[in-house]
Chains A and B, each alone.
Chain A
Amino acid sequence: DVSEQLTPVLLDGPREESLQLVSELQDSSCSCAVDVSTVWWEAAGCRELRVVTASESAVSLWEPLAPACWGKVYTWHLGEMPVIQIVPLPDTCNLVCVALGELEIGEIRLLLYSSETDSFKHSLVKTGNIKAVVGLKDRRLVSSSRTMQEQQVEMVSLSETGGSKDRQTLMPPEDTVTAFAEVEGLREALVGTTAGNSVVVWNLKTGQLLRKMHVGYSYPASICHRAYSDSGLLFVVLSHPLAKESESCGSPAFRVVAFNPCTGRSVGVMFSCLPPGCAGRQVPGGDVWDAVGAAVLTSGAVAVWDLLRGQFVAVLPPGPAGHWALARWAGGGAGLLAGRRDGTVHLYRY
Chain B
Amino acid sequence: SLRCSQNSNLCCRRDYYVDFRDIGWNDWIIKPEGYQINYCVGQCPLHVAGSPGMASSFHTAVFNLVKANNIQASGHSCCVPTRRRPLSVLYFDRHSNIVKTDIPDMIVDACGCS
User: Are A and B physically bound partners?
Assistant: no
